[in-house]
């Protein structure tokens, strides 16, 4: 059973890969901007700014996964053949 957990973990880690900080930086910057806009909106009691911040965070995650996907499917089922 531990082998199955290790295989699942390894597969999840290979779904979205970025090997260097320079590859991660645009996504991290967009995510940080989203957190800042959302926090500012929370302090200013502005639901629109909070919504924009959340949207920026989700956009950063979606872009990262889409641009760094290995194309193996992403979840259940049998592992791809070696």
DSSP the chain: -HHHHHHHHHHHHHHB---SHHHHHHHHHHHHHHHHHHHHHHHTT-HHHHHHHHHHHHHHHHHHHHHSB-SS-SSSSPPPP-
Per-domain residue ranges for the chain? Answer: 20-67
Q: What is the mean pLDDT of residues 14-35?
A: 82
Digit-coded pLDDT (tens) for 33-75: 999 999 999 999 999 999 999 999 999 999 988 887 765 555 5
pLDDT at residue 8, as a whole number: 59
Query: What would the mean pLDDT of 4-12 be, rounded to a whole number?
Result: 58
pLDDT of residue 37: 97
């Amino acid at each position: 059973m531990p082998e199955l957990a290790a295989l699942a973990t390894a597969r999840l880690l290979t779904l979205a890969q970025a090997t260097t900080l320079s590859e991660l930086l645009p996504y991290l910057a967009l995510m940080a901007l989203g957190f800042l806009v959302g926090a500012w909106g929370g302090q200013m009691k502005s639901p629109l700014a909070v919504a924009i911040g959340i949207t920026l965070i989700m956009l950063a995650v979606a872009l990262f996964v889409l641009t760094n996907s290995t194309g193996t499917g992403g979840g259940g089922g049998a592992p791809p053949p070696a």
